[in-house]
Amino acid sequence: MDPLRWMLDVNIILDVLLNRQPYVAEAKLVWAACNEDKIKGYISSSSLQNIFYLSRLIRKRELGYSPEDAFREALNDVRVCMLTFTVVWLNEGIMQAALTNPGNDLEDALVAQCTIKLLLDGLVTRDNKFRSSGALVLSLADALAQIKQLS
Amino acid sequence: MTVAQEAPQQELPENYEQVRQQVLSLSAAERTRLLHEMIDTLVPATQETVVPSMKDTLSYALGRLSAPGVTPPSDDEVKELIEQARAERYG
């Protein structure tokens, strides 16, 4: 059986990278399911950029890295995401659809349209704002229930 | 305490002894300078991050952006930080 194909909101990925309580417990199960090929996880290219910017900034400001080390390790954060998830590159069709249905956040609209245009099985997020996007939204609880059924 | 693992034995290059003798013929100051230059070449190698296996990226990724005593940003704070980072980049 082909694995389920889920778009992952960047905050799910950041829950793991930031070890953010209490969400990390569920987020890491989704990440692990991707490692185990139970799920095929997707991430938008805009999310990768955001991870890079955030990682570099936090490493410099909060974790005491030099600018050079922060840059290098932020690249490694992007690399580990690219190893784990399939990147959805934004194209004109996705952008046009997001512009038609932007909600109040263009980046969120792009993530939702990636889910819709690629006919993915769902968008895993903790953000209820996605529920009006037209994409099939899965909470972490929904996602974990589906993963459990696969086991 | 972390104990460094012994590097695996590698076959020495043919000209190793010749190079060693040449180095020993240098003055103490020259050998010290050479030693520092050689150590500098090792720094990038020791800072290399181990590339994770595709099948276990979770253990590599978990908490990479966290540190004891540092409260991670909330979703709203993340948005704000990304805005700040973009402002740094694009002005």
Residues A110-121 pLDDT 10s: 999 999 999 999
Closest CA to A129 of A6, A4, A5, A11: A11
**Domains of chain A, residue spans:** 4-150
Q: What is the DSSP string of B30-55?
A: HHHHHHHHHHHHHHHHHHPPPPPPTT
By residue count, chain B amounts to: 91
Nearest by CB: B85 against A11, A57, A76: A57
Fold of the CATH domain A4-150: Rossmann fold (3.40.50)
Please write the tens of the pLDDT for every residue from B34-71: 887 776 666 554 444 555 666 789 999 999 999 888 89
- Do A20 and B49 count as a contact with CB atoms less than 8 A apart? no
B4 vs A40: which has the higher pLDDT: A40
Average confidence score pLDDT of chain B: 77
Instruction: Please report residues of B whose CB lies closer than 8 A to that of A12.
Output: none
Please write the tens of the pLDDT for every residue from A73-82: 999 999 999 9
The structure's pTM equals 0.77
Residues of chain A above pLDDT 70, percent? 100
Give the model's pLDDT for residue B5: 45
Instruction: Please report residues of B whose CB lies closer than 8 A to that of A19.
Output: 62-63, 65-66, 72
Q: Is A81 left (phi over 0), alpha (psi -120 to 50) or beta?
A: alpha
Nearest by CB: A54 against B61, B66, B78: B78
Give the helix ranges, DSSP H, for A8-66: 10-17, 24-35, 45-61
